[in-house]
Amino acid sequence: MKLNLEEEKMNAKDYVMVKVQKALASSSVLKIEDITIIAQLIRVFVLAYNLKSDLTLAREIKDQEIISKLLQIHQELPASVAFLEAGLGLEQINNLASHEQILTLLEKSLAKITGNTPAKIYSENNSFLPLVITVGGTNGKGTCVTFLRSLLKDLQIVSLTSPHIREYNERILFNGKPIPYQTYGWAIEILEQILAYYLKQTQKADGYFNFSQQNTLLAQLFAYLYRANILIQEVGIGGLYDTTNALDAHIAIITSIGLDHTELLGESLESIAKNKIAIAREAGKVIFVPNLQLLPPELQEQLNFASLHKLDLAEQLYPKSNLEAAYTAYQLLVKIKDLGIEGHSLGYLTRESKYEFSCGEIDFRLRSKASFALALAEQQAKINLPLLKNKDIEGAIKEMNLYGRLSFLSALGKQALVTSINKAYSLELDKVNIILDVAHNPPAVEKSCEILAKKLPEDSYTLFIVAFGKEKDINQCLEKIEQFSLPAQIILVPLEHQYRGVTFTDYQQRVNNFEKLYLASSLDQVLQEITQARTFKEIMNKFVLHTLTLKYKEELLKSNNKSQINLVFMGSFYLLAQLCNDYNFALENKDFRLL
């Protein structure tokens, strides 16, 4: 495949990252109404492209059936952006004499958007449209998506999570593996051409996707391109205006409701819940883990809620409710024949049933009835999942590969990380626990501290090495850590990030005085001091004791004889990324241990 690389000298990854930076710098004027139509354009384009690929490769297809499905989806597009040739109309299907005729019409249709024949990327899977599972919530989304993907390992799955830790293409996975940058490059070009076509046809001002829009639309494009059975997409922020809401979720999951992003979602749990529930559809199922009373009664009445399936498992490091939400979705797929409600079958589809919706309104009606119904009918015929036993569920948990959720480093992992920080380290690693956790808002920090207090040895001392993004409620997070029930110290380090970073000076201006808090000038300074020490007493003498109140100094001195030290890195995905990138620490299964 040849990319139309702008400088012709960039490799695929460099090309993709140029486009990512363009999206990061974009203050997109595209509203959810625009994104919904663009998402539908992407769907029709890739389905037409897949059909053209099948015909080109002489793959046996049922021409009339496939074209009929494609046209049902296409006719829901506004007339201004419809692009399939008139000769492909439903009434003309029987008159198309050959594959060659259909192929010619498809090529003409696609050329209206791309200007030339797209590169050949082809999937052997035979799925036409995927089911859509959208996962929202304040915390626990990534855990839920990852566990559900692990449970569904025998199906073809495209999943979207955020953010990434080391590589940008960690965000969108096909069957648990990153998609090659070469394929990303092709997909971004198609995305840009579809955007240009949309802006031209609707006579809107030139613009570009923002970062979230770009990522989410790419995930949707890949789901069609790879002909996945299921697309699992994690909501970025909220739900109402999020790009994931451009697609109709067959199953919508809300993992939790907490106070985060209040400047966008509102200052109360009720306003946040109302925004997040907007990803649901009246024709689908809803798994709502928080208290249902957070939703207004009139919204509750419109939706079809599924009861949460409880899991009888040994205590996990992951909050059980996140696992139970994913398991409940699995159970719904086991009984997939019951998914959907009467009135949303293929017979329900008519041209007249299309409607327009307004930005800012919570509307649980379907955006594309044809896509919803066709995907449901197809996957009901294809998906046949077994009931799971406890050993199967526990096996799926072990295979999750979810780094940074109270992840304890193994002996190999500790050795690799500490050696990369300081080859001449003095720290006695057999007396050290190293834990990586990305809890980044007050509810998540509180939950992580609660779990750690149960898991860490009582005869130990904990150093929380933390950093928080500039948009976070840093003081509330620090307050939760200061309430940690075991002896502990908080070391706050600057966060290096182009858009969400926080400097030492920022902290000085924003952070309150906390009894257990030490403000460090850099992460590296802290890590060098720690790795050069041999005992907890040496660590205290280096940079802790002189910063604290007299009362807390006395408590620390009593902790001199603690046999174990716990280093907990917490507060942000970007802190974990900084740790991995600065010290070339690769996150691999061998680096972690199960408790």
Alpha carbon of residue 592 to chain centroid: 22
- What is the rounded distance in angstroms from the CA atom of residue 22 to the CA atom of residue 217? 15
Q: Which residues contact 119 (CB under 8 A, 6 or more apart)?
A: 1, 2, 3, 186
3-state secondary structure of 466: strand
Is 156's pLDDT higher than 70? Answer: yes
Out of 3.40.1190, 1.10.357, 1.10.3470, 3.30.1490, select the CATH number for domain 12-114+124-303: 3.40.1190
Mean per-residue pLDDT of the chain: 85
- What is the rounded distance in angstroms from the CA atom of residue 99 to the CA atom of residue 52? 9
Instruction: Give me the sign of the Cα torsion angle 519, 521, 523, 526.
Output: negative
CB contact burial 397-423 (16+ within 10 A = b; e otherwise): bebbebbbbbbbbbeebbebbbebbbe
pLDDT-based confidence at residue 592 (cuts at 50, 70, 90): low
- What is the rounded distance in angstroms from the CA atom of residue 403 to the CA atom of residue 580? 12
C-beta separation of 258 from 139 below 8 A:
yes
C-beta separation of 107 from 227 below 8 A:
no
Write down the domain spans for the chain.
12-114+124-303, 323-399, 407-583
Is 340's pLDDT higher than 70? Answer: no
Alpha carbon of residue 256 to chain centroid: 15
Residues in the chain: 595
Give the model's pLDDT for residue 205: 86
Reported as a single tens digit per residue, the pLDDT across 183-223 is 999 999 999 999 999 999 999 888 899 999 999 999 999 99
CATH code for the structural domain at 407-583: 3.90.190.20
Reported as a single tens digit per residue, the pLDDT across 164-187 is 888 899 999 999 999 999 999 999
Q: What is the mean pLDDT of residues 340-352?
A: 41
- What is the rounded distance in angstroms from the CA atom of residue 388 to the CA atom of residue 386? 6
In 422-522, alpha helices (H)? 442-455, 474-482, 504-510
Give the model's pLDDT for residue 5: 45
In 266-368, alpha helices (H)? 269-276, 297-300, 320-334
Structure tokens at 351: 């041209």
Q: Which residues contact 327 (CB under 8 A, 6 or more apart)?
A: 147, 151, 309, 311, 393
Give the model's pLDDT for residue 359: 44
Closest CA to 184 of 17, 6, 25: 17
Structure tokens at 85: 């040739």
Reported as a single tens digit per residue, the pLDDT across 347-391 is 333 333 333 444 456 889 899 999 999 999 999 999 999 999 989
Give the model's pLDDT for residue 565: 87
Is 517's pLDDT higher than 80? Answer: yes
Reported as a single tens digit per residue, the pLDDT across 246-293 is 999 999 999 999 877 777 788 899 999 999 999 999 999 999 999 999
C-beta separation of 132 from 229 below 8 A:
no
